[in-house]
Amino acid sequence: MKIGIIADLHIDRTRTEYTIEDFRQVLSHEMLNQNIDLLLIAGDISNDYRVTSAFVESLMESTNIDIRFVPGNHDYWQPEGVSSTEVYRFYKDHPKSLIESPLILGDDWAIVGHSGWYDYSYADPRFTLEKLASGKFYGGTWQDKVKIHWPVDDPELSRSFAESVQKDLETVKDRNIILMTHVVTHHRFTVPTPHRLFDFYNAFIGTSDFDSFYEDYPIRYSIMGHVHFRHQFEADGIQYICPCLGYQREWRTDDLATEIRNTFRVIEI
C-alpha cells in the first residue's frame, strides 16, 4: 500500500495569484502521478473549518483516492460566532478526521491521529508560565492567542489530547502504527537555540506529552507538521517525517507544482 503524506498547505494564504482551486488541481495531479492509495494531511489546510472540509471533499472527488487528516492550529481558528469547542466537535465528528477514529489497514497496520497541542516544554526555561501563556514576545503575538479560545490552558489541553491519543493507541497496539499529529512530538524538529525569538516561540511548536508513546507502543512512522520545514530522520527504528509545504514566502521557488512535488512524501507498507 502506498500512502502519500503532506502538511501545512495553507491554501487560503498565498502572496500571488494561486487560488484554492489551483491547490486542488496541483495536489490532485501529484496524488495521481504517485499512484497512492491513501493521502494523509498533517494539519493546517486552511484558516477556516468550512474551507478545510470542502477542500478535503473536493480533493477526494477529483482523485477517487481516500484521505485522512488531522486539523492543525490554523484549522481551529474561529470564524465569527463559532466557539473553539464547536470547531473541535466538528472535526471530531468529521468522517475523514483521525481524531478518536483510528484507521485500520488490514491485519498489520493502523493509523492513529490527532492535532496534539503544545505544552510549552520546548521553550527556554527562563520564561515563566505566565509569560508563555501571554504569547507575547518582542512586540509580536502568537496568533492562536487571538484566533482560538480554548476552555483550558495550553498545557492542560496538550495533556487532554495526549490522553485521547493514548486511548486510541491502546486499541491498535497489536499492529504496527503510523502516528500523525500536527504539532511536533520530537525535539529535533524545533528551531535550534539559543535564538533571539525561538527561545520563546518554541513553546508553541510541540509537546513532550507523547514522549512515552514511542517506548510503549509499536509506532513505526511519526508524521507531523506545523514547523514549516521539510525534514525526516530515523531514530530507534521509527521514521519521523515532517513534510510541510508552508507559506509561499518560505518556498524555495515561486512555482506551486514544484513545491508540492518537493514536499510530497510516500511511504509503502
Model pLDDT for residues 96-153, shown as the tens digit of each residue: 999 999 999 999 999 999 999 999 999 999 999 999 999 999 999 999 999 999 999 9
pTM attached to this predicted model: 0.98
How many structural domains is the chain composed of? 1
Which of 142, 156, 158, 134 is CA-nearest to residue 208? 158
The domain that holds 191 is classified in CATH as 3.60.21.10
Q: Left, alpha or beta for 246 (phi > 0: left; psi -120 to 50: alpha)?
A: left
* Structural element, H or E, at residue 39: strand 38-41
- The per-residue pLDDT for range 249-268, each reduced to its tens digit, is 999 999 999 999 999 999 99
Find out whether the peptide bond into 243 is cis, omega within 30 degrees of 0: no
Helices (H), the chain: 20-33, 49-63, 84-93, 129-134, 144-147, 154-171, 198-201, 213-216, 256-263
Which of 149, 117, 147, 145 is CA-nearest to residue 131? 145
Which of 166, 169, 187 is CA-nearest to residue 178? 169
Residue 218's pLDDT is what?
98
| Structural domain range at position 32 | 2-268
- The per-residue pLDDT for range 190-243, each reduced to its tens digit, is 999 999 999 999 999 999 999 999 999 999 999 999 999 999 999 999 999 999
Range of weakest confidence among 14-18, 135-139, 164-168: 14-18
Which of 154, 70, 74 is CA-nearest to residue 114? 70
